[in-house]
Structure 1
């Protein structure tokens, strides 16, 4: 039973990797704060964890892609006197398609969620984390963090930013009480749709697909071991090595061949972190993000 007054705060915690991270924290006896879009998914996740584990569970519903979201979350934690010693920036979104096939508002939302909210939450909570005897920050990158990815260029750039930001922040905090780890998985089975598309891609792709619980376990283990980077699974590790040893021009040809297929279709809708966008034409230009799509993202 947890008697600690400290909490792990996890964004995008209503489903997928975020929920798995919340469960993994609870399994370790950590109290948790779940942050995601308001609605049934968030409430059910909080209720499930509260029922199964002897920890305290708080939750806050908010659109993490909105301006001011980070400050609102921080102020709520202060108001409720919730002390955070582990910040997990998990929420994110991505899509595949040629750059000019997406409306500028789509990119504005993606960058606000993937980059701005992560940076601002980290800055807002940093002084509080420094005040703890021991604290940690886990940021969710991607195998795409290691490459310039045509036809997923804004997503991969945002994940490269997270990778660089996390490693640089770790250096600044070296010798302090705060451990920083960036987690860069490959494909993750976060929905039935992803599983179906992976099956269609072949046995190898299906075998390489990671489960959210596995990614969560490896993330917390890497943090505990003081590792700067975690690449859960075979694919993430191979991608990181490939970014070092494969010539850049060959990388570009290889990645273009993989992701240019989505150029032949109209833009696909955004998908939760760790998923590959489908090739089917799902959304006409301009791209709008509906509330139901945001629910899946956060």
Structure 2
């Protein structure tokens, strides 16, 4: 079955749906309290962690749909009795959704989407586009920025794109807690954008592509031209996990892991579903950089 592109599409396409919600979690479990999954007779949306716990929830939900049951509570120990070894305990509430429930679920999903952390990929070259190919599948709002429209046009990922003559303004207008990955076609522009991102002092991540030598050059440049600006919190080289593979897709994989580790750190994860960032300020653009 084709998976719809959004929860709204899923709920609109399915007449009968059970909402499965984790209402209490004790000890270790695959997902946190508040996680939702939606079960229709022949389709699913979301996950409560997979494994036997999810299998039981899906079966229970479809039994409810078949038998006309409106509500059901489950209290499941995550131990040998269900073939899992998490060791925790999960309480779930299963509810048949009315039209008002579907509307409320769509509103919650919209609010979570608006609160997603922003990741700015500053540069639409090979590695920049490889980053967008991976970031489009993660719980972030990815924005690809470049001064060159012909490079932006090569991006095929489902992300926001901007052609910006002064990309520093995109950094200045970003919300607090954003991540900035800087990998333009020009070292001088890299330095300017990195300095702008560091100057904010509220970014979750600032990384610049390059080598240890480039980092030293940036440090000296910042000290001379930016009132002694520190680059202590800069990641450079980015994605430096020991791999010597220089293929853009491989570099992008290491960088994305680095960025997501920062965005989903213990501090960032304190809000429900890890969504704790403010929405983007300023103009929105479509994925080909045109002002909307």
Q: Higher strand fraction: Structure 1 or Structure 2? A: 2
Q: Higher helix fraction: Structure 1 or Structure 2? A: 1
Same fold, TM-score > 0.5, yes or no: no
Q: Which has the higher contact order (CA 8 A, sep 6+)?
A: 1
TM-score, L = length of structure 2: 0.40
